Structure 1
Amino acid sequence: MSSRDEFHSAEIAVGTAGVARRPVGPAESEAAGRRWWDADADAYLAEHGADIGDAEFVWCPENLHEAEAELLGPRASLAGKRVLEVGAGSAPCSRWLAAQGAHPVALDVSAGMLRHAARLNRELGVDVPLVQAGAEHLPFADGTFDLACSAFGAVPFVADPGRVMREVHRVLRPGGRWVFAVNHPMRWVFPDDPGERGLTVVQSYFDRTPYLEVDGAGRATYVEHHRTLGDRVRDVVAAGLVLEDLVEPEWPEGHERVWGQWSRLRGELFPGTAIFVTRRPG
């Protein structure tokens, strides 16, 4: 999963000089995402590695674990299933799935993140296959996987999330489940601030212009794309998937962790995460 903190050393590495709001196509968006996460992988995992774990499946900063939520299905049913993790980062979710007897494949656009995934695979003795590719062009044959999942990976950062839905539908077997977590769309109207400033509306929920950080030449160094809740549902339905559930995790009692824009202050007032539980009919 990812959250946009106020400052990252990666901004220096990729040459961030300012912010912008303008349309961004798939190629520029993917290139920016690759450069950003390659540059930020070390710092991100140094800061958040303890939160996501080395072999845990944590859906979101609200600390919802798949072991309890079972959004992919009963835990006992995972054994033997082929699972695609989209936007896997360092692949802790895939390693957790492997420990349940599943056969996961971890896909990410960033070589920097997959380098950490490979290191953790070696350290933990878990053989999870790693694939570098963008989510809009999945390099797998039709009907390859029983399940697919994404915990804040890829979907918020691609220019064409509808294509991601169609690609996942294609690589799933009939009856296969696809569960993905993203920033809750209503968060778009607030600043990325966990404090009081993050409680004030600053832009329209209906403004879908991407948020960019750019270098001195105006080239995107970081991109996030906004879709309304209705947009997300339409993308799912248009891809031929069935929406079974929409989970909005509540802020748990006793959870005090501040993670980027996520905090108890905001989490007790409005949702920070939306998790879409879908399946390919069959």
Structure 2
Amino acid sequence: MTGTADHVLRNRAAWDRWAADYAGPGLRRWAAAEPSWGLWSIPEAQVGLLSADVAGRDSIELGCGTGYISAWLARRGARPAGLDNSAAQLATARQLQDRFGLRFPLVHASAERVPFADASFDLAISEYGASIWCDPYRWIPEAARLLRPGGELIFLLNSVLLMLTVPDAEDQPATDRLLRPFFGMHRFEWPDDESVEFHLGHGDMIRLLRGCGLEVEDLLELRPGPGATTTYPFVTLDWARRWPCEEVWKARKR
């Protein structure tokens, strides 16, 4: 695709390779009675990520993966659409739609270039989708464009503190030491991984959101419960109980 950024193509190839590993977790989350969030599957009742009433709202999930968040929203009366950069992830999402008898549009595209008209949605949401795999200076302006006045942008991602303390080695957990500079945070590439991530410091994120016509309403710093578990090796429960390893941004279109 002419003009597609290198990180979009690299992340598409990576997620097409990884998609099979996420089919099982996707099935479990589709089957769950209540939403849970992030690395530690923290219950919605504890996080308070979603608005109390999403019924009748048009939503778009940016980087939907297997589509379980859109499924949760559909069951609560929303009108969701899911968008993902990986055709393999969307194939899993379609299989799960068939299995659970729940249909909503699924679109193969990058969240940096979304094929929907301006002001099409009341809610844009991302959990480790566009929120870390797309350049925020491209996907956040797109999310703002897609929202109607008063619409919400909600996204969950790794905390700034985690990104400063996690080693380069994939199987090594975050430390209690700063390992990389805070200033200049943006593009992250790991030695043994072909994918590309993006993370901004809080000041840069606030300025970006406000520059796109979005007012920050909340920043939730997530803390798992004492007995929580995760399959991800880069953070321990002790670390995540002492410092936030994940955060949720909530902003509203002016």
In the superposition, the TM-score normalised over structure 2's length comes to 0.88
1:75-119: CA deviation from partner (whole Å, max 9, x where unpaired)? xx2111111111100000101111111110011111011010000
Give structure 1 stretches of 5+ with no counterpart.
1-24
Structure 1 Cα separation of the partners of residues 46 and 79 of structure 2: 20
Change in 2 beyond 3 A, CA 1:117/1:67: farther
Instruction: Indicate the SS of the match to 2:5.
Output: helix
Kept in 2: contact 1:191–1:202 (CA 8 A)? yes
Q: Which runs of 5+ in 2 are unaligned?
A: none
In structure 2, relative to structure 1, the CA distance for the partners of 1:54 and 1:35 (3 Å cut) is: farther
2:178 aligned residue (201, 210, 225): 201
Pair 1:26–1:200, CA change in 2 (3 A): farther
Counterparts of 2:46 and 2:164, CA distance in 1: 31
In structure 1, C-alpha distance between the alignment counterparts of 2:59 and 2:185, rounded to whole Å: 31
| 8 Å Cα contact 1:36/1:222 also seen in 2 | yes
Q: 2:151 aligns to what SS in structure 1?
A: strand
Which is bigger in relative contact order (C-alpha 8 A, separation at least 6)? 1
Q: CA deviation at 1:132?
A: 0.8
Deviation at 1:206, TM superposition (A): 2.1
Q: Does 1:112 align with 2:88?
A: yes
Alignment check: 8 A CA contact 1:236 1:243 kept: yes
Q: SS of the counterpart of 2:132? A: helix
1:259 paired with 2:232, answer yes
Name the counterpart of 2:210.
237
Cα distance, 1:35 vs. partner?
A: 0.3
Residues 99/145 of structure 1: CA separation in 2 closer, same or farther (3 Å cut)? same
Partner Cα distance (1:249, 1:194) in 2: 22
1:109-150 Cα distance to aligned partner (Å, 9 max, x none): 110110100000000000021001111111111111111111
Q: Distance in 2 between matches of 1:87 and 1:187?
A: 21
Answer yes or no: is the 8 Å Cα contact 1:58–1:93 preserved in 2.
no
Task: Give me the identity figure in percent.
Answer: 32
- Work out whether 1:136 is the aligned partner of 2:112: yes
Q: Could you tell me whether the CA contact under 8 Å between 2:221 and 2:244 is conserved in 1? A: yes
Q: Superposed, which structure 2 residues align to 1:1-282 within 5 Å?
A: 27-46=5-24, 48-49=25-26, 52-54=29-31, 57-66=35-44, 69-74=47-52, 77-159=53-135, 161-192=136-167, 198-208=175-185, 210-213=187-190, 221-281=194-254
Asked if 1 retains the 8 angstrom alpha-carbon contact of 2:174 and 2:236, the reply is no
**One-letter amino acid matched to 1:191:** V
Query: What's the secondary structure of 2:21's corresponding residue?
Result: helix
Q: CA deviation at 1:195?
A: 6.4
Task: State the distance in 2 between where 1:250 and 1:165 align.
Answer: 25
Q: Give per-residue Cα distances to partners, 1:31-66, cap 9 Å, x unaligned.
A: 0110000011002334x4476444663331232344
Counterpart of 2:125 in 1: which secondary structure? strand
Any idea what the Cα deviations from partners look like across 1:154-200, whole Å, max 9, x if unmatched? 121223x1222211111111111110011111112222578666333
TM-score, with structure 1 as normaliser: 0.80
In the alignment, the residues of structure 2 paired with residue 201 and residue 52 of structure 1 have an alpha-carbon distance, to the nearest angstrom, of 34
Displacement of 1:213 after TM fit? 4.9
SS at 2:124's partner residue? strand
Q: Matched residue of 2:143: which SS?
A: helix
Q: Kindly indicate whether the alpha-carbon contact (under 8 Å) linking 1:177 and 1:280 is maintained by their aligned counterparts in 2.
A: yes
